Chain A
Amino acid sequence: MAKSFNIIISGTGGQGLITLLQIIAEAALIEGLDIKTSELHGLSQRGGSVETHIRFGKEIYSPLVTQGSADLILNLEISEALKMLSYASSKTVFVINKNLISYPGGFEEKELIQKIKNFGKGPKYIIPASEICQKELGKEVVSGIYLLSYAVHKNLIPLKAGSILKAVSKVVPEKYLDLNKKAFELALN
Chain B
Amino acid sequence: MKKILLGNEAIVQGALEARVDFVSTYPGTPASEIGNTFAKIAKENGVYFEFSTNEKVALEAGIGASFSGLKCLVAMKNFGLNVASDALLPLCYTGIKGPMVIVVADDPSCWSSGQSEENSRAYAYLAHIPMLEPADAQEAKDFTKLAFEISEKFNLPVILRTTMRVAHQRMPITINPKFSPFGGSPAGRQNPKGKFIKDVRRFVTMPPRVLEMKEELLEKIEKIRDYVEKSKINKIRRGRASTELGIITSGISYLYVMETLQELKLNLPILKLGFFYPLPEKKIKNFIKGLKKVLVIEELDPYLEKEIKILAKEISLKLEVLGKDILPQIGELKTEIIASAIVKLANKKLKIGNSLKIENWKLKIPKRFPRFCPGCPHAMVLTAIKRAAPEGTIFGGDIGCYMMAGLPPYELQDYLLCMGSSISIAHGIGKSTNQKIIAFIGDSTFFHAGIPALVNVVFNKSNILIIVMDNFITAMTGLQPNPGEKIKIEEIVRACGVKNIKVIDPINIKEMEETIKEFLEKNEASVIISRRICALLAKKQNK
Contacts and interface: CB of A to CB of B under 8 A. Distances in A.
Interface of A: 12-13, 21-22, 25-26, 29, 34-49, 60-64, 66-69, 79-80, 82-83, 85-86, 88-90, 103-107, 115, 119
Contacts of B413: none
Give the bracket for the number of chain B residues in contact with chain A: 35 or more
Interface string B358-392: 11010101111111110000000000000000000
Contact of B365 (A37, A60, A82): A82
A39 B4 CA distance: 14
Contacts of A88: 354, 358
Contacts, number: 144
A29 B168 contact: no
B336 A26 contact: no
8 contacts: A34-B172, A35-B171, A36-B170, A41-B32, A44-B112, A48-B369, A62-B334, A104-B366
Given A35-B4, A36-B255, A106-B366, 6 more contacts: A29-B2, A34-B171, A38-B169, A46-B373, A66-B335, A105-B366
Contacts of B366: 103-107
B259 interface: yes
Contacts of B336: 66-67
A21 B6 CA distance: 12
Those 5 A-B pairs whose CB atoms lie nearest each other, nearest first: A42-B112, A68-B355, A48-B370, A105-B366, A42-B29
Contacts of A62: 255-256, 258-259, 334-335
Interface in B1-51: 2, 4, 29-30, 32-33
B192 to A, nearest CB: 32
A67 B359 contact: yes
Contacts of A107: 365-366
Interface of B: 2, 4, 29-30, 32-33, 111-112, 136, 165, 168-172, 255-256, 258-259, 262, 334-336, 353-356, 358-359, 361, 363, 365-373, 401, 403-404, 408, 476-478
B354 A46 contact: no
Contacts of A64: 165, 256, 334-335
B262 A43 contact: no
Contact of A36 (B136, B262, B361): B136
Nearest to A101: B368
Given A13-B370, A38-B165, A64-B165, A43 B255 contact: no
